[in-house]
A and B are shown apart, each in its own frame.
Chain A
Amino acid sequence: MSSVEIKDLCVRFRVYDKAAGVVSPDGAGVFSQRGNSHHWVQALSDIDIELAEGQRLGIIGRNGSGKSTLLKVIAGLLPPSEGVVRIDGQVSSLIDIAHGMRIEATGERNILLRGMIAGLSKREAKERISQIADFAELGDYIKLPVRTYSSGMAMRLNFAIATAFSPDILIVDEWIGAGDLAFQKKARERMQELIDASGALILASHDLELVERMADRVLWLDAGRIKALGPARDVIEHYRDTVES
């Protein structure tokens, strides 16, 4: 069983920098002020979403509109300021896959640590090492510290670890591709497998064709509010028209 239920969600960031502004870009979270000293950015307001088993939700919107913030709240990385987020099922997020890589540790050690972070026991994580290392195609480099890797190799390792476990609810911020041309093809296939295996998908992207292909419903965020929520094709068409006009 996997479902996500979000009710009246608001997220506010306190701005601690002294010179907080009042002007934010069109479509981004808006500044607000309480008293003389408290500055806030209202990142998300009044978000209501329900996602049931097997549904695929796409999130679109301009830069700063709150897409990543919403994903982070669902992934449990940011607390809601108001409202309730109810999650049923194992959530796995590919939001910033580079987080949690230790460049001084070997590739193998990183797989072990990240496996344990993902909730595996040490023994279970150990058992996955060879499989993940094979996918990353790093050969004996897997026994060297990550700092000796080329950036493409590090990305491949990251991708291999991040996509090694199939969760109930998959959260993806921008499509992740990694490595050279040959690996990119493999990465695409892996992402597709992961999506097919997951109970529900939430994908934020600027690639409208991708969103239309992957999602059956689309949420359009603007300035932290729901501008539209409905069948993928309709919402994306509406979004295109607005941007182009």
Chain B
Amino acid sequence: MNIVPSQLTLSGGDRLLSQLRTGAMDVAQGFMRYELWSSLAQDDLRQRYRRTVFGLAWLTLSYLVFILAKIFIFGALNPAPMAWFAAYVTVGFLVWQLLNSFIIDGCTSLINSETWVKGVQLPYSTYFYESISRDLIIFAYSAAVAAVVLVLTGHLPGWAALSVPPALLLIILNGFFLHMLLGIICLRYRDIVQIVQTAMRVLFFLTPLVWTADQVGSLAGFLVWNPFTYLIDIVRAPLIDYRIPYTSWAVCLGMTAGLGGVSFLVFSVFRNRLAFWY
């Protein structure tokens, strides 16, 4: 059962301008269904942890275990003070986890929504919002742990921390663009899902998360080519070093604009063909 908006004109072979317009309508109308996608996201998570005793507390627990292991193993190898390094790993991994989930879930959000796309007429962006809000709920559970670690290691927020909320907003915006772009590409070419998953596992080690740039010598020069370096820096630096990294901000804003343009174009142009790619 589904009800379509009361005035609708569908036509084949649209021009680019009207494709862009329907693409923008999709993004806006999808957002307006916030009651729906936030409920769907909650259901997704409940389903994942159904009949477990701890339920969603597993999100907190698994994050805690993971960072503790990393702090002890990699902290032993790092010359920096333990308290600082613990905060470094905690915040870095928190942001990495969010970006990673945006990318991995972005690849599969449309693929996994097959029965919905075929059965009900919803704006496609609804599925992106659902996936993003699910990732953000997971993020919130981990962020609570990160906050505790920051306090315990003596990293109380300073003035620079005011730049963290806008930094997170920018990351979420990137998450939306990644969903649009990867969702469509992966729906058409399913191998990309596997390629991206493999790449992300490798990138984890190529991003300064469990090691610091001064540890790797000349290899640090390659970090300028890793976009994750900047996206993590804009959240991590204000929290643990009490400074706003303006260069990273500039790079992030540029990347977001570029990614946004490409994603929106791809989404708008291929939106009409999605239904045939299942």
Contact = CB atoms under 8 A, between A and B. Distances in A.
B119 A116 contact: no
A239 to B, nearest CB: 28
A6 B66 CA distance: 58
Given A109-B43, A116-B39, A88 B11 contact: no
* Pairs of residues from A and B, 4 with the lowest C-beta to C-beta distance, nearest first: A99-B119, A162-B1, A76-B121, A82-B12
B33 interface: yes
B218 interface: no
A93 B118 CA distance: 12
Interface in B238-278: 272-273, 275-276
Interface string B3-39: 1111111111100000000000000000001011001
Interface string B118-136: 1111100000000000000
16 contacts: A14-B276, A75-B4, A76-B121, A77-B119, A77-B121, A79-B273, A87-B8, A95-B119, A99-B119, A100-B119, A100-B120, A104-B43, A104-B50, A116-B39, A117-B120, A165-B1
Contacts, number: 121
A87 B43 contact: no
Interface of A: 10, 13-14, 73, 75-100, 102, 104-105, 109, 112-114, 116-119, 121-122, 161-165, 167-168
Contacts of A109: 43
Contacts of B35: 116, 121-122
Contact of B116 (A79, A99, A104, A162): A99
B9 A86 contact: yes
A78 B92 CA distance: 43
Nearest to B122: A117
Given A73-B10, A77-B118, A92-B3, 17 more contacts: A13-B276, A77-B120, A79-B12, A80-B10, A80-B12, A83-B12, A84-B12, A85-B10, A89-B6, A94-B1, A99-B116, A99-B118, A100-B116, A100-B120, A118-B2, A162-B1, A165-B3
Nearest to A165: B3
A161 B35 CA distance: 18
A232 to B, nearest CB: 26
A27 B116 CA distance: 29
Contact of B11 (A77, A80, A162, A167): A80
Contacts of A104: 43, 46-47, 50
Contacts of A116: 33, 35-36, 39
Interface in B26-64: 33, 35-36, 39-40, 43, 46-47, 50
